[in-house]
Structure 1
């Protein structure tokens, strides 16, 4: 009994960690099938030991994707999960249970592709799009309206609509866009995203809408939640037709099946077609078509009894792992990649697979020369699942990451408390190339005519090692490069000169400080106002910045404490790069020195437009309410920020009040 209690506690903790990684970090470490097996194992143990009370079981949870940085909004009708199966027998049994419940009736089922994306609920009031909310914990989710608004094909208004309508579907990323983003990251020496679903989930929760817009997301709608009047729809198939009439992006194909056996035949047909779809699919959803029967069948705590998800088995293949290659990123991070004997998998030839990090290699005991099992379950980048030990060569030896680095002459150390190895030698040419590529990229200093091929030549000819070296280049230096003439050399020198006036956040981002991305750089600029102030800040002061946690604060402080980095900063200062914010509040502005937090959807202004007005009036925006907040600008569907402002006594204003203040 004690062993069972320990095993239940262990499984619950393990599932909780996987939930955190999947729903909040968008970086799962196990595939869906392995996760489902853990939940099934826990459910069986809990059923066999009902005397143990651990509180609510994760087997009855839909997860929780909510983040503190977002407003919460309560769904009018809960967004539940679905029971799922990998077995045709269990699918048929699901149908038989419903036949027993509704004897003598021919049950019709709607069979839909199961999109491997991020669940979303869109609210329309009197035909007008009001907000977009993530699934969250099923009861309430994050308001992600600002990022969803930019998805192509989403109607702002719909005609002949019910008074209240929650339209539900999935946000996803197409294979081509995913490959485009990863190709850019690979050329910059950055780690690759594992699959479109994870990247879509991370993108939709970005705090900076401009970054979300740069990553093209798509949406497909297929269902409804709350609807007033509640008899507007009578059948599931009717929803599909009406969504199409309203010009929503809808499913490419669905099936209306008489009986569960016909539904299974539809799933087999879907399996043969699904690779031609523009969105990633990992299964099929089978629903009773009739809403009256749905209501009679009812719900469990987490899922409807009238629907089930059938998941396709992950596609796997065995192949030879020829070698473990190392990829170096902009910050010197070393990422291992499996070089494989090419093998056909999910319709493509696979020759590389991610190995993530040293701990992943050790946990799976992956060695060069092994025959490995590779999986590609809706994933663009394959992953090495396991090793076929029966085929392991007799003289095989464990792969030692640190020793391999030394053999290659790479000076690297493992980051304390992390699984990342990072090059410590700033003179490593590959690291220099990656750092300069990042510095010159559009997301940083945006230097035209300074592409990867040019940077590779500059480093190999020892014309540039650091960002400051770029600004010392002369026309004669550039004329030594391949495919460079006088005009192209002049253009690059002009672009370098123009970049000296870039925004402060662009420089902070371009420096390549570990853990500091574009939004973090903007937050640092807004809080400190100058590079010198950021450099002088201790860890405690850095943690006062919205969005900067302890790990990032440690990284920033350590980077600026490094003598070589400080010397580089002084070189950039002497060259004339901009070290101060260009957003200083004008003394005469009506909001001079004021901090405003925005929340909810404003009647006429977008968030970007409101922010622009605040900055022009001399104020600044912040993402969180505190005692330092001067005003909360609140629109419709204001959530936790509104409550916090009331609690702290922060003045709450509407759009009209705000416009009067800025006039």
Structure 2
């Protein structure tokens, strides 16, 4: 009897994880929400009746665990470095020419992707099991947010396949999609609770909850963007950054669908302009594009400078400016003592929104 229940729990866990993978990684849901909820309830009921049979990385752990008194610290075995920024087209061209000069190659292939406006995290898998998660922190030491990360359905608790390394560090961005952010703020406002100013603050605030049950209620997602520590590989990893990300996807980790291989300076600029033009339609907030030399051998050849790699740069979007000239303001005090403000009917607004091509042309 016990063995039969154990098998049922294992089968339900695998089935739920398959559905999570289909929904969050492949963007191809395999069952309606009602069926997913039914499977989850069945699993939770069996685990409540037989807690000794609950798997260490059961999908049910995504609802959150015991609240922490404070976060412990995790030291990154490989520092989580920041990227240098290109604030204009000219700065990107200077970067490109510097890299091409060092590599002796004028037509460099880059792995380009949107720069998500979220929170960078490190995930450690051992024998395919998620064992820890940490924030970037100061690059050397970050906060232990393992229990909170376990509640994010886009992050697999167990890797897919069998050819992953014994130890695998995955780095990526936790973010809150704009639709989830808007819905969360609407609910909070209707209850008179605190709202967040933007999706980045919402993601960061959600990950830093001492009670993971609160994090579990937040609509967080995740995209992987690089590897950190890798030990005891079952098979050699690809020598292309882009192909490494595709390998991560095969192991169940979501990557941005906008990632693209781009060769040559003008094509990288065209990618930037294309993403900038589609920025309002993307389902998440971004503030630029990240360009990484695709060849891992070239990355090693270029190395690092200070706290940033020589082989990557973040091309930041032009600031979206809204300048208002306030000409006058009137204050009124009501019968209850409440202060009222009347703004003028006419204000002066100015916005600036240039593509990289337009900036370079100037």
TM-score by length of 2: 0.69
* Aligned equivalent of 1:70: 71
Q: Map residues 131-530 of structure 1 onto 2, 5 A cutoff.
A: 131-158=132-159, 159=161, 160-190=163-193, 192-229=195-232, 232-317=237-322, 368=344, 371=347
The alpha carbon displacement at 1:368 in A equals 4.8
Using a 3 Å threshold, how does the CA distance of structure 1 residues 335 and 310 change in structure 2: closer, same or farther?
farther
Using a 3 Å threshold, how does the CA distance of structure 1 residues 335 and 105 change in structure 2: closer, same or farther?
farther
SS of residue in 2 equivalent to 1:181? helix
The alpha carbon displacement at 1:290 in A equals 0.5
**Conserved in 1, the CA contact under 8 Å of 2:237 and 2:244?**
no
Using a 3 Å threshold, how does the CA distance of structure 1 residues 192 and 154 change in structure 2: closer, same or farther?
closer
Q: Deviations over 1:376-404 (max 9, x none)?
A: 99xxxxxxxxxxxxxxxxxxxxxxxxxxx
Residues 1:94 and 2:95 aligned together: yes
SS of residue in 1 equivalent to 2:256? coil
**Conserved in 2, the CA contact under 8 Å of 1:127 and 1:157?**
yes
The alpha carbon displacement at 1:141 in A equals 0.7
Q: Which runs of 5+ in 2 are unaligned?
A: 1-67, 333-337, 354-362
How far apart are the structure 2 equivalents of 1:201 and 1:335?
Answer: 34
TM-score by length of 1: 0.39
**Conserved in 1, the CA contact under 8 Å of 2:69 and 2:210?**
no
Using a 3 Å threshold, how does the CA distance of structure 1 residues 77 and 103 change in structure 2: closer, same or farther?
same
**Conserved in 1, the CA contact under 8 Å of 2:153 and 2:221?**
yes
SS of residue in 2 equivalent to 1:265? helix
The alpha carbon displacement at 1:247 in A equals 2.3
Q: Deviations over 1:320-370 (max 9, x none)?
A: 8797999xxxxxxx999x99xxxxxxxxxxxxxxxxxxxxxxxxxxx7567
**Conserved in 2, the CA contact under 8 Å of 1:132 and 1:148?**
yes
Q: Which runs of 5+ in 1 are unaligned?
A: 1-66, 327-333, 340-366, 378-663
SS of residue in 1 equivalent to 2:170? strand
How far apart are the structure 2 equivalents of 1:191 and 1:325?
Answer: 27
Q: Deviations over 1:22-71 (max 9, x none)?
A: xxxxxxxxxxxxxxxxxxxxxxxxxxxxxxxxxxxxxxxxxxxxx99211
* Aligned equivalent of 1:110: 111
Structure possessing the higher relative contact order (Cα contacts under 8 Å, 6 or more residues apart): 2
Q: Map residues 11-50 of structure 1 onto 2, 5 A cutoff.
A: none
The alpha carbon displacement at 1:112 in A equals 0.6
**Conserved in 2, the CA contact under 8 Å of 1:111 and 1:284?**
yes
Q: Once superposed, what is the RMSD of the aligned Cα atoms? A: 3.0
Using a 3 Å threshold, how does the CA distance of structure 1 residues 179 and 212 change in structure 2: closer, same or farther?
same
How far apart are the structure 2 equivalents of 1:237 and 1:165?
Answer: 17
Q: Map residues 1-20 of structure 1 onto 2, 5 A cutoff.
A: none
Using a 3 Å threshold, how does the CA distance of structure 1 residues 263 and 77 change in structure 2: closer, same or farther?
same
SS of residue in 2 equivalent to 1:73? strand
Using a 3 Å threshold, how does the CA distance of structure 1 residues 257 and 150 change in structure 2: closer, same or farther?
same
SS of residue in 1 equivalent to 2:269? helix
**Conserved in 2, the CA contact under 8 Å of 1:191 and 1:335?**
no
The alpha carbon displacement at 1:250 in A equals 1.4
How far apart are the structure 2 equivalents of 1:324 and 1:193?
Answer: 29
**Conserved in 1, the CA contact under 8 Å of 2:87 and 2:318?**
yes
**Conserved in 2, the CA contact under 8 Å of 1:170 and 1:221?**
yes
Using a 3 Å threshold, how does the CA distance of structure 1 residues 104 and 85 change in structure 2: closer, same or farther?
closer
How far apart are the structure 2 equivalents of 1:141 and 1:248?
Answer: 21
**Conserved in 2, the CA contact under 8 Å of 1:252 and 1:277?**
no
Using a 3 Å threshold, how does the CA distance of structure 1 residues 187 and 157 change in structure 2: closer, same or farther?
closer
Using a 3 Å threshold, how does the CA distance of structure 1 residues 89 and 133 change in structure 2: closer, same or farther?
same
Using a 3 Å threshold, how does the CA distance of structure 1 residues 149 and 375 change in structure 2: closer, same or farther?
farther
How far apart are the structure 2 equivalents of 1:170 and 1:335?
Answer: 43
Q: How many residues align?
A: 276
How far apart are the structure 1 equivalents of 2:249 and 2:330?
Answer: 49
* Aligned equivalent of 2:30: none
Using a 3 Å threshold, how does the CA distance of structure 1 residues 70 and 370 change in structure 2: closer, same or farther?
farther
SS of residue in 2 equivalent to 1:371? coil
* Aligned equivalent of 1:81: 82
**Conserved in 1, the CA contact under 8 Å of 2:114 and 2:290?**
yes
* Aligned equivalent of 1:527: none
Q: Deviations over 1:59-99 (max 9, x none)?
A: xxxxxxxx992111111211000000220111011010011
The alpha carbon displacement at 1:273 in A equals 2.3
How far apart are the structure 1 equivalents of 2:261 and 2:200?
Answer: 27
**Conserved in 2, the CA contact under 8 Å of 1:222 and 1:243?**
no
How far apart are the structure 2 equivalents of 1:86 and 1:182?
Answer: 31
How far apart are the structure 1 equivalents of 2:107 and 2:253?
Answer: 31
Using a 3 Å threshold, how does the CA distance of structure 1 residues 375 and 75 change in structure 2: closer, same or farther?
farther
* Aligned equivalent of 1:47: none
